[in-house]
Each structure stands twice: as structure tokens, then as C-alpha cells.
Structure 1
Amino acid sequence: MKRAYNFNAGPSALPLAVLERAQKELLNFQQTGMSIMELSHRSKEYDAVHERAETLLRKLMNIPDTHDVLFLQGGASLQFSMVPMNLLKEGEVGNYVLTDSWSDKAMKEAKKVGATHVAASSKEEQYTYIPTNIELSERAAYLHITSNNTIAGTQWREFPNVAVDLIADMSSDILSRNIDVSRFALIYAGAQKNLGPSGVTVVIIRKDLLAKGDDHLPTMLNYRTYSESRSLYNTPPTFAIYMLSLVLEWVEEQGGVQAIEKKNAEKAAILYRCIDESEGFYKGHAKKESRSHMNVTFTLPNEELTKKFLAEAKEKGLIGLAGHRSVGGCRASIYNAVDMEACEVLVQFMETFRKNIF
């Protein structure tokens, strides 16, 4: 079978080596006579997987002892609610930077819990850039950002320095570049882009914040529940965590996050070069200083050409290139598991397509 060149925004590409290992171990995990999906989450075999996932993530991201690592479900969308439920107290204000519809949705959920404030926004220019003119409200509880914006194709190159707790939705660029975790009070990320398959959500939370979760919160919506039980209060998404551990091992084998970051920059560079040198045929949606290394968004001269481009790309095995409906055009999501070969094939197709039109 010839594998597709997968540019889907999520669920997205997984490393072939990871899929092959999972396939090999699927029916008989570590001579248990059972699949990892059949093992009790209380078994010593699964417990080793669970521990391995946390240990590797701590190592690769250099997560300090001041922070807990939690494995939850519900995706980033549930975190939109859990963050304010646990961290936004009466009389405080949740501050949000709006950089695409996901950050907008995060704030809408927070409004159901308490007071919110737009600290900065690029909405008036179709989210084409990362705003830096941050204005915090009085009694700010935290500042929430979305580190990478899958729809608009923008990314924070430098994180804001603020005098309140910094919270980040890193669903689409976690583990793609080196970051200083100690600068963040809380980081959350759905796994289905860089960490593994859909089904598990990683939360990295500063331990002192765990006390803020009131006892009146539903048990499964309190971060303290997961911290006190090592994320084993109930049955966790065992297969997704197993796959996460395999992806983390793969990242380590590639040379760690530093090596991954270098490759990601090189992949993004050849795609943006193709766009910039196309004499206006391809136009990037994001302003150059805010361009994402994970999601390359661009448009063609008209809708007819866009449809033709996407149809011919699919015939060539280039999958998942349609842009989000709110932006249109095209989007190439080039997460960690998308290799340079896939990007080079896409660039060659883009150049050939443009030349054939003229």
C-alpha cells in the first residue's frame, strides 16, 4: 500500500515507525496475550506505559518539578471550561487574546463561568497576525493565549511577558519547538496533532494552582482529582496514552525537540518560499512576521482554481489541503510527523500546477 501524504489539520499524520510498532504489538502486548486495549488500567504492564509517557514528556519538554503532568479526555474544548472553572474566582477576570475562532470559543466558555476581558485581538484583520499590544484588565486572574492557530496559520514567535498567570492552548504546536515551561501557569493540548491520536489531552499545570479548584466542582472537572490519582481516578484513554508514549520515544530518537524544531523550520521555509516566489499566484493568509511553522495557509486567484488545485492534489496523494471554511483557500498542516519528502512533493506539485495554468 502506498501511504498518502497527509496534511490534515487533525487528527493528523503519525510517524510511520510508531504505527508499525503499534501494529506489531497490537495483539500481544509484552507477552500478556492481550492487546494494550484489553489490559486493565490497574495492571503493572499498563502502569509502566503510563509512567513512561509522563517521564518522557517531562524529559523532552524539560518540565520542572513545580508542574504536574495530567492526562485527561475531552480535548482542548473541555479545557475551555475547566480552566475558568478551576482558576477564575469571583471578583477576578479571565483575560484572553483572540487570534482565531478557537481562542474566541475559549473565551465564550469562560463567560459562562465568570467575568472576561479581551486583552488583545486580531479579529478586525481576519486573524492574520499575532497582536502584541496586550492590555490586561483590573483583577486579572490569568492571560489565556492560543500558541498556534490552525485556521489562520499564525503562531506566537515570542510569548508575552505579563504579571499574571500565563495559560496556553498548545494543541497544535506542543513539542514542535523548545519552550520554557516554567513561564506558564498551565499548558493544555489535545494530542491529535503532534502528540499522538485523538482521545487524550495533556495538561501541564503549576502545582500551586491545584488548590484553587473548589470542592464544589464536579469531581471529573477538578484538576486536583487527576493530580491526586496520577490521572487514574477512572479508566483513562489507555490506547491513546500508549500511542503518546510511542510518539514521545520517536521524538527522542529523532534527536529531541531541538532537532524536531530545526526540521519544522526547514519544512515551513520551503513552503513559504514557494508561496512568496509565485508572483502572487499563491498568497499567504498570515502576515509574514506571524506565520506558523505548523499550518501554512494560502489562497489561489479564485475559487475555481482552488477546487481544481485540491482535486488534482488529491489525485497525487496529497490529502487534507482544503482550508478551513472560515478562511477558504488551502492549508498544509506540517506537524512533526509530516516529513520533508511530503513537503517537497507538495512544493513540486504547487510549482507545476502554477506553470500549467499559465
Structure 2
Amino acid sequence: MTRLHNFCAGPAAMPTAVLERAREELLDYQGRGLSVMEMSHRSPTFEAIAAKAEQDLRELLAIPDNYRVLFMQGGATMQFACVPLNLLGNGGTPNYLDTGIWSTKAIKEAQHLATVDSPLANAHIAGSTRDSGYVHVPRPDEVSLSDDAAYLHYCHNETIGGLAYDYVPEVRVPEVRVPEADVPLVCDMSSSILSTPLDVSRYGVIYAGAQKNIGPAGITVVIVRDDLLDRAMPQTPSLLGWKVYADNDSMINTPPTYAWYLAGLVFEWLKHDIGGLAEMEAINRRKCEALYAAIDSSDFYANPIEPANRSIMNVPFTLADESLNATFLDEAESAGLLNLKGHRSVGGMRASLYNAVSEADVQALITFMQDFERRRG
């Protein structure tokens, strides 16, 4: 069997060591005579799997004790609705930073919940780079919250556009609003979580779909500060409320058990095989810097994002001659380089360099790109 070079934006590549471990345990988990996907989520065996996964994640991210870790279904897209539902119970206006397609989708979902009497009808855009084509993020002095801000939401890494924040936005509230701590910072980290170390204490809520750096599609991690669990709107459906998950160890109903188990294996891999997130960041930066250098040194390829805001996880690039796009993709696939087609909304190419994508994978892509340019440029 040959493992090819997978640059898919999600569901993304998973560590080979994790897949091999899952294969070994698929039919018989640790001598229990059945697979993890066949056992009850209420069994002591699965409860131990779940508890270890949470503990390993807490250690990787140094999550403070006053934060709850939730394992939910529905993907990050469901959290677009969960965020306003869980944080607007005390009133106020939701505030958003707009830097691309995913932040726009989060804003639209909040507006979708609006009624005439709802604060969601007046969702406030605290900063946007739409007019400049989303090639950079708003600078700190361009972020302006509403006087009654309930929270500030942003997407740390725009998967489609390849745009990432180079700073953590500060919640600067108007002088009329006291105390500042009432306005939590909420972040969609679906395509960047676990790629670098992270100061969780700077956030009120962090959420991330699993299918990038955490594991397979089907499970979503939500990290929420304790004091925010009682701010839900009264009409919040029970299975969309964070508190009910916190109160029931994320098992209010049957969770995606196998995805949870695989996420736990990924956390173990990061801790023991990689050595933690500082080591993972060093690898990730070597990968993206090599690819960006290959793009920047060429007149045949181009990346549209301002260097300070280039993503280390998702690298979009275009060809000088767009008529060669289909040929590039066909030849890349023949060379074992998969899933390089850019999102339909932006076109071009995109290489997603998540944690499980190796430096050898990236070098294979660079070698192909240079050869393609030599032959077709």
C-alpha cells in the first residue's frame, strides 16, 4: 500500500501512526473483544477513553481549570448558531470581525436567528476587510465594538482564503461600558487549533471542527469559560446549549464515539510522537515557509495574501496562465499529489498543510511545482 500526498482542506490527512493504531484496535480494543465503535458510550471503557482524550487536550493547550471542554456534534457551522444562542441571554449586541467566507457565514447564521425584537437584528461588524478583498485582517486600531457588545467573534484562520490573524484581538470596550470582562472573545479555530501553542485564558470561547487537526469529521471541540455557561437565551434548544454538555460530560445523547476515540489518539500523537505544540509549530513553520518561498521566487505562481497574514495551514496560489489549471491538477494527481484544487469561490490552487502533512509531502509538492513551471512556463 502506498500513502499519497494529501493536501485536502478537510476532511484532512490524519497521522499515519494514528491510523495504524486504529487499525490494530479496530476489531478488538485492548482485548475486550469488540471495537470502540461497537461499545456503549456509558461503558467504563469508553468513559475512560473520553476522559483521557480531554485530559490530553487540556495538557496540550494548558487549558485553565475554569474552562470546560465539550465534545459536540454538528461541526463548527453548528457553533455559528450556538455562539449567539449561548451568549445573548443577558442582552447586548453580537459583534463580529469579517475577514472572509467563514466569518461571513458565522455572521449570516447569527442574522438568520434574528426576529424583530432580537438583538441579533443589529449584529455589529466591528471590523472588516471585505473592501480590500480579504487579503489582510483588520489592524487592532480598526476594531471598534458597539457600546453594548455581548461578545466579539472572529475566525482565526480563514481556510478558504488562506488568511490568518497575526495577533489576538483585544476587547477594547467604549468608556461607557464597564467592566471589560463582560465582553468575551470568541474564536473559530477550526483550521488552526493545535498547530501552535495557544493562550486559552485570553478567550471566552474557542471552538473547532475536528476534521483539520483534531481527527475525523463528526465531532467538534468547544472550550468555554465557566462563567459563560449561564448566558444562554431562554429559547436555546437543549442540544445546542453548552451548559447541558458541560453538566453531562458531553454525553447528553449518544456522542460520535469513534471520532472521539480517534481525536484522543491524535492528542496522544501530538504529545508523545511530536513532543507538544511548540515542536509542532516549528515543523509547521518550516513547511509553510518552504512553500511560500517557492511561490514567491517564481513568476509562474502567486499568493494574494499580505505576508503578515499568510496562513501557516492553508496556502492558496494561482498560476500565471489560468488555462493550465486543469493540466496542473491532472498532472499533480498523477504524481500522487491530491486535493490541490482551490475552493470554488476563489479558484486557483490550495495546499492545506495541517499537522499530519509531513515536510516530505510539502517538498514533493514544491518539486512538482518547479518541474511543472519548467515544462509549462
Q: Displacement, 1:12?
A: 0.3
Q: How many positions carry a matched residue from both structures?
A: 357
Report the secondary structure of 1:212's partner residue. coil
2-structure distance, mates of 1:161, 1:325: 33
Residues 153 and 285, structure 1, Cα contact 8 Å, conserved in 2: no
Structure 1 gaps, min length 5: none
Rounded Cα–Cα distance in structure 2 between residues aligned with 1:294 and 1:45 = 35
Q: Where has structure 1 moved over 3 Å in runs of 4 or more?
A: none
Q: Is the 1:152–1:285 Cα contact (8 Å) retained in structure 2?
A: no
Contact 1:267 1:343 (8 Å CA) reproduced? yes
Question: For each residue in 1:229-287, what CA deviation from the matched residue of structure 2 results, as whole angstroms up to 9, or x when unmatched?
Answer: 00011111100000000000000121100000000000000000000001x21110211
Query: Would you say 1:142 and 2:162 are equivalent positions?
Result: no
1:182 aligns with 2:206: no
2:27 alignment partner, SS class: coil
Partner of residue 138, structure 2 = 131
Q: Which segment is superposed worse, 337-346 or 121-130?
A: 121-130
Normalising by the residue count of structure 2, what TM-score does the alignment of the two structures yield? 0.93
Deviation at 1:195, TM superposition (A): 0.3
Aligned partner of 2:258 in structure 1 is 239
| Correspondence 1:122 to 2:122 | no
Work out the CA distance in 1 between the residues paired with 2:48 and 2:134: 43
User: Of 232, 236, 239, which aligns to 1:213?
Assistant: 232
Equivalent residues in 2 for 1:216-295, closer than 5 Å:
216-253=235-272, 254-278=274-298, 280-295=299-314
Q: How many percent of aligned residue pairs carry the same amino acid? A: 48
Amino acid at match of 1:130: V
CA contact under 8 A between 2:88 and 2:233: conserved in structure 1? no
Shift of 1:91: 4.3
Cα displacement (A) at 1:77: 0.6
2:160 to 136, 151, 155: 151
Counterpart of 1:231 in 2: which secondary structure?
coil
Q: 3-state SS of the aligned residue for 2:347?
A: coil
**Cα RMSD between the aligned structures?**
1.0
Deviation at 1:218, TM superposition (A): 1.6
- How far apart are the structure 2 equivalents of 1:87 and 1:215? 11
SS of equivalent residue, structure 1 residue 81: helix
Q: CA separation in 2, counterparts of 1:189 and 1:125?
A: 27
SS class of match (1:37): helix
- Residue in 1 aligned with 2:10? 10
Distance, in Å, in 2 between the alignment partners of 1:310 and 1:296 is 16
Q: Residue 88 of structure 2 contacts residue 232 of structure 2 at CA under 8 Å; is this kept in 1?
A: no
Summarize the alignment of residues 158-197 of structure 1 with structure 2, pairs less than 5 Å apart: 158-163=167-172, 164-197=183-216
1:37 maps onto 2:37 in alignment: yes
| TM value normalised by structure 1 | 0.98
Moved more, 27-36 or 187-196: 27-36
Say which SS state the counterpart of residue 42 (structure 1) adopts: coil
The alpha-carbon deviation at position 217 of structure 1 amounts to 2.2
The CA deviation at 1:126 is 2.1
Distance 2:71 2:93 in 1: 27
Which letter maps to 1:343? V
Q: Which runs of 5+ in 2 are unaligned?
A: 115-119, 173-182
Q: Deviations over 1:296-345 (max 9, x none)?
A: 01100132111111111010010010111111110000000000000000
